[in-house]
Structure 1
Amino acid sequence: MKSLHLVKTSTGATWAFRVMRDLVQMGEDVHVAMPVDGILVQQYKDAGIVIHELNYSMKSAFSTISKIREVVDEVKPDIIHSHFVLTTLLMRMALRKHNIARVFEVPGPLHLEHAIYQNADLWTAQKKRDFWIPTCQWSMDKYKACGIDDSRLFLTYYGGDLVDREYQKGVLRNELGLTDKDIIVGMVAYMYAPKKYLGEKRGLKGHEDLIDAVAMIQDKYPNMHLVFIGGPWVGAEKYEQEVIAYGKEKVRNVHFLGTRRNVPDLYQDFDMVVHPSHSENLGGAAESLMLAVPTIASNVGGFPDIVIPGKTGYLSEPFNPMSIAKAIEKVIANPAEAKQMAEYGKAYLHDLLNAKKTSKDVYDFYRLIKERFDENNTR
């Protein structure tokens, strides 16, 4: 089967790349329409994915729509697979008269939490042509609640490459001059500036909430260090500087390491990692649990699918620094229990989030989608 994927970046979204790479390995003819200025372009080429240059923009929607049509007419795919809200809306506007099966693999619940964007998704979809692959249970349930029929919904998760290898311990503590007696509370996430048009006052990933949480309890734990890994997402450089200034103002022992390429090694020295997102799919919790690091996550979106209180980790309430602080103290008070849960989380996710399994899910979904699409068009 020939699939055309729509991806708005060639710098990030490695989860979309993994799906395409694995589909090629299963014998699929895979094409992608995306910008060609990012660091992942060569990986796409090496994987045997055919690249078509396409830059997505609502500001120049007419030219983007025209380009989408050109690529579709050139490729003639059996199915079109969109990986972002932006690419999905532009695709639907461009292909209103094209009779091709289209699937939107939903990267997260954020657009479903805001009426304007939720309605844009639902209202632009055509009953006989559009299907969804939600990637967490929350999104699946939300689409059902909005009246989307089960026959158009296919739940799977974004898989990771589970490589059982030994990572180097001590790298982070040596870099920061810390000992094993120091407590490291870590967070790994890009910094996304608040979207004022969505009413956001703090960044989506909750960096400020974690800073406030640590500030509340730092006097009880003078050997506690807060470590942030991850630089600004595109265009968020000013916001990054604001977060750094806020962190240094509120927390005595705080370290901002920026974007790093050896994150799995750095994770080895975390006593715990916190994912305080305001909206999220599985997010970084999948990575931290796969590495068996004690994990705290906010009770939003897809986090509860994998961070199960009392079994794999701890959930805190979103937008609630006090709730985060209490969870941090639980880990400090019960390090052996926290590590045991993280190890169970690693085993639990080994199959659930194995990229080979989740990509095979997509492969199988394509067959079902094409079958149902053909049935709809013979009625």
Structure 2
Amino acid sequence: MSHLFEPMSLGNVTVKNRLWLGPMSQYSAQATGDHASEPNAWHFQHYASRSVGGYGMVVVESTAVTLEGRATPYCLALDCADKLPDFEQLVDSILMGGATPAIELNHYGRMASTRQGWMHSSYLAPDAPLGWLPVAPSPIPFTEDGAIPRELTDEDIWGVVRAYREAAERAIRAGFEAVVIAASGGNLLHQFLSPLANHRGDDWGGLFSNRIRLVLEVIDAVREVIGEHPLIVRMAATDWDAAGKGWRLTDAVELVRNGKEHGVDLWDITSGGIVPGVVQEAGPGYHVPLSDRIRRDTHAATSVGGKIISAGQAEQALLSGQADAVVAGRNALRDPYLARRWQSELDGVDSWPLQYWRGI
């Protein structure tokens, strides 16, 4: 059997293979009404089809811990218990296909209040219909034409920690078997990590130990309520800042070392997002060397995505010890059954559900 399709133990869960669906926003929740920011028929079919498609873990898209933390008015939020029934139904749709259901909890900070992703994420002004004023570590807009975010107070920051804790508790109640904390893609936790977005002079900014403080506080709060369930942190390994003034790979290594004492089971390695348009996509698998460095220097478990375009490339990343799991993104949008095709290619196994055998 290929390494890609071997089971993996993570916390109190055994994931059936090491090819996972990454969190990719669908911007398809209702923006208003009784079911605003809740999963609906689109989400049920989208995630169920990827579970049937053979992925070991299915990570539900970025789900905000507060309404102001949504990227768009059309994003999911798990900010209150009233939303649990629809999230429970979403979990059931993933379990039916055989995948481990996971959810990414997020707060977009200064990147919030935008239009849907296919509309180039242009900002919704605070006074526009459906818009609101974003918050951030410092009053620095994400783009030149974006709103100046409100700087979070110390009390606000502790409120963010509580929001993550409460959302994680709801996620476990809904039946999710793993929780992913997002500290990547330019979101609020990433904003606190990066000197490019965090210009604070208090205990939440400046020194490295202060900038990583919020991430560690969130990790501790989430770990406390999810018990032995797997805790994954999706982390930007670098800002790709040419001047070297942003979040760097060496910083990421130190955060992972600190995270060992806080109960993180696995780090999902990404990069960029803190500055618009700044990304280093050197080619297929461009995050794999970052994962390799973090894994070698810390001995922590990692997963990695980023233009991994073939079964052989994914298998090699695992066999060479550069990662412990592979995350599918854009490939999985194009092909819900990518995992089953790659398993057939690597292992010669047609592992389709019995309901589909007449078509095999």
TM-score by length of 1: 0.30
TM-score by length of 2: 0.31
